[in-house]
């Protein structure tokens, strides 16, 4: 009896241990339960991988972080421009049409200039109503000399991020690209799948099916 690693995808247990497990499987009633030796369904495996991948992507800073005030600082400048104000004041358009055209004009102007926030802007779409409400707050924050990247936009509010690190003696409240929590999560995810794999492969190979007539 023991562990064998020569064919891990087939079985992790020795031949005699498999024979013992097969005997128990067939000759004990197991409470009347007739359990077959089926492999894990492929859709279940795919679903598990999808759940883990989605969870990491939604919490990973490159995908799941909240938008910062810095992303929309240029929006505020363009909102005050004569071209955008002319569209917003156009009486021939409905409020919905003027807002849509004005926002399209802002986004078109921004697309002509490289920005480190281009990806985040695509992630966090800004509406004209939201921009109108946030513009005075963003302007006030910018005039105070604050680091705009340290402030997150949460609904109608602009709040300082809850990430505090000391950099050259100064407190930096920016979400890091990597967090220690992800290292811990990755360890436990690997540990979980490794344990489940060992438990499944510790059973007799799926090529063997128990004969339930022997004990039932």
89-113 pLDDT per residue, tens: 999 999 999 999 999 999 999 998 8
**Residue 43 and residue 21 share a domain:** yes
* Residue 134 and residue 114 in one domain: yes
With respect to residue 188, please indicate whether it lies within any of the assigned structural domains: no
* Domain identity same for 88 and 141: yes
Q: In the prediction, which pLDDT does 215 show?
A: 63
**Same-domain status, 33 and 121:** no
Provide, rounded to the nearest whole percent, the portion of the chain with pLDDT above 70.
95
Domain membership of residue 208 as a residue range:
15-60+198-214
Mean pLDDT estimate for the chain: 86
Together in a domain, 75 and 168:
yes
| 192 inside domain | no
Number of domains in the chain: 2
| Same domain for 78 and 52 | no
| Residue 83 shares a structural domain with residue 162 | yes
pLDDT in tens, 187-200: 999 999 999 988 88
pLDDT of residue 62: 62
Cα dihedral 49, 178, 71, 65 in deg (nearest 10): 40
Question: Does one domain contain both 127 and 148?
Answer: yes
Residues 133 and 209 occupy one common structural domain: no
74 and 48 belong to one structural domain? no
Residue 186 lies in a domain: no
């Amino acid at each position: 009896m023991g562990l064998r690693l020569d064919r891990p995808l087939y079985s992790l247990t020795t031949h005699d241990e498999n024979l013992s497990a097969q005997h128990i499987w067939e000759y004990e009633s197991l409470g009347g339960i007739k359990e077959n030796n089926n492999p894990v369904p492929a859709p279940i495996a795919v679903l598990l991988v999808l759940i883990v991948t989605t969870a990491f992507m939604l919490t990973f800073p490159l995908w799941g972080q909240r938008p910062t005030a810095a992303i929309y600082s240029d929006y505020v400048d363009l909102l005050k421009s004569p071209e955008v104000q002319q569209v917003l004041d156009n009486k021939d358009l409905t409020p919905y049409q003027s807002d849509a055209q004005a926002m399209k004009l802002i986004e078109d102007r921004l697309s002509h200039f490289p920005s480190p926030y281009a990806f985040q802007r695509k992630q966090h779409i800004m509406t004209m109503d939201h921009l109108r409400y946030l513009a005075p707050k963003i302007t006030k924050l910018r005039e105070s000399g604050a680091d705009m990247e340290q402030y997150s936009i949460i609904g109608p509010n602009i709040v300082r991020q809850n990430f505090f690190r000391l950099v050259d003696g100064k407190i930096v409240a920016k979400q890091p690209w990597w967090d220690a929590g992800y290292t811990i999560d990755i360890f436990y995810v690997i540990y979980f799948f490794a344990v489940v794999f060992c438990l499944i492969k510790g059973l007799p190979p799926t090529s063997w099916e128990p004969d339930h007539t022997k004990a039932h």
